[in-house]
Amino acid sequence: MIHDILKQMPGLGQPQRQFLATLCVTLLVLRGRVNFRNLRRYCAYSERPSARQFREPLDWPDWPQRVLRTALAPRAALVSAPDASFLPQSGKQTCGRGHFFNGWASRAERGLEISRLAVGDVTRRCAFPLAVSPPPPGEEATQAEPAEPRGACYTQPLRTP
């Protein structure tokens, strides 16, 4: 399925197509954190070739749409599932860090809040992530902007082109 999707994407050369196929399969199989430095443990690409391949242009926002078109049946019953998530972050320079509710710890902690959007296939009982974005700033926002409910920011990926 990954090879079929990559063949549809314009402007990809054979080396980049092969790298992305290997990378996708590797990331789907592994659990935990993977970065350029430890990628060599799990696949044939090390830090330098990986960095070289990521310098090549790629239309990343087009990727989830192509995956969904390939994976979902044309007449599938779909639902959207917005979700607010918490990422623990430390440091004084992290942009957007504040006190947010951490559902795992059942209390407010310092970290980052992100908004995730998934598409759920009701008939097959599975979900596919579509977008992840930080919510817009709250208290730091200028008063000239119209105020919208805090929950409306979680559907922002739907409104963004």
For the stretch 32-47, pLDDT in tens is: 777 767 777 888 887 8
Is residue 90 located within the same domain as residue 34? no
Q: Which of 29, 44, 69 is the last residue in one of the domains?
A: 69
Q: Which of 69, 84, 108 is the last residue in one of the domains?
A: 69
Q: 81 near 154, Cβ under 8 Å?
A: no
Q: Per-residue pLDDT averaged across 99-125, rounded?
A: 84
Domain that holds residue 22: 2-69
Q: 118 near 130, Cβ under 8 Å?
A: yes
Is residue 155 located within the same domain as residue 79? yes
Per DSSP, 93 falls in state: S
Beta partners for residue 98, in sequence order: 111
Is residue 94 located within the same domain as residue 130? yes
pLDDT band for position 142 (cuts 50, 70, 90): very low
Is residue 23 located within the same domain as residue 65? yes
Is residue 107 located within the same domain as residue 152? yes
Per the structure, how many domains does the chain have? 2
**CA–CA separation, 110 vs 88, rounded Å?**
7
No. of H helices and E strands in the chain? 5, 4
* Average per-residue pLDDT for the chain: 77
The confidence score (pLDDT) of residue 143 equals 46
Q: Which two tokens stand for residue 123?
A: 């008939």
Is residue 82 located within the same domain as residue 155? yes
